[in-house]
Amino acid sequence: MVGYWRKATEPTLKRICVSMVFALILASVLLAFTPALLAAGSSGPLISPWDASPVDLTEEPYDCPPAPPIAPDITVTKGLGKSDLSPAVRQAIYPESDEALHDLTSQAVEAADTFRRTGSQAAARCAITLLAHAAADHAMAGYMATADATNEQNMALRSVAIAYLKVRNSGMATAEEQALVSAWLEDITHQERNRIGSGPCGRNICGAHGHSGMGIAMAAAAVAIAANDRHLFSWSVGQYHTAIHLIDEHGMSHYDTHGQYALNFNLISAGCLVQIAEFGEANGLPLYAYDHGRIHLLVGTVSRGLIDASPFSVATGATQRISSTIEPWEIVWASAYNRRFPDPLIAGLLQQVGSASADLWGGAL
Domain boundaries, the chain: 8-41+200-365, 54-198
The answer to whether domain 8-41+200-365 and domain 54-198 are alike in fold is: yes
Q: Please compute the mean of the pLDDT values over residues 290-299 and round it to a whole number.
A: 98
State how far the Cα of 285 lies from the Cα of 289, in Å rounded to an integer. 9
pLDDT tens across 27-36, in order? 444 444 444 4
Instruction: Note every long-range contact of 312-317, with CB atoms under 8 Å and residues 24 or more positions apart, other chains counting.
Output: 312/252, 312/257, 312/262, 312/263, 312/266, 315/6, 315/250, 315/252, 315/257, 315/262, 316/3, 316/4, 316/6, 316/257, 316/258, 316/259, 316/260, 316/262, 317/4, 317/6, 317/7
> Quick one: average pLDDT of 181-191?
97
Q: Which CATH superfamily is 54-198 part of?
A: Chondroitin AC/alginate lyase (1.50.10.100)
What per-residue confidence (pLDDT) applies to 7? 34
Q: What is the pLDDT of residue 94?
A: 47
Topology of domain 8-41+200-365, CATH: Glycosyltransferase (1.50.10)
pLDDT of residue 99: 79
pLDDT tier at 345, thresholds 50, 70, 90: very high
Q: For residue 76, what pLDDT is reported? A: 60
SS3 call for 350: helix
Give the pLDDT band of residue 359 (cuts 50, 70, 90).
confident
> Count of H helices and E strands in the chain?
15, 0
The reported pLDDT for the residue numbered 31 is: 46
Per-residue pLDDT band for 357 (boundaries 50, 70, 90) equals: confident
- What's the pLDDT score for residue 85? 55
What is the average pLDDT score of the chain? Answer: 86
Give the CA distances from residue 249 to residues 16, 103, 237, 302, in Å, rounded to whole numbers and listed in that order. 12, 40, 22, 13
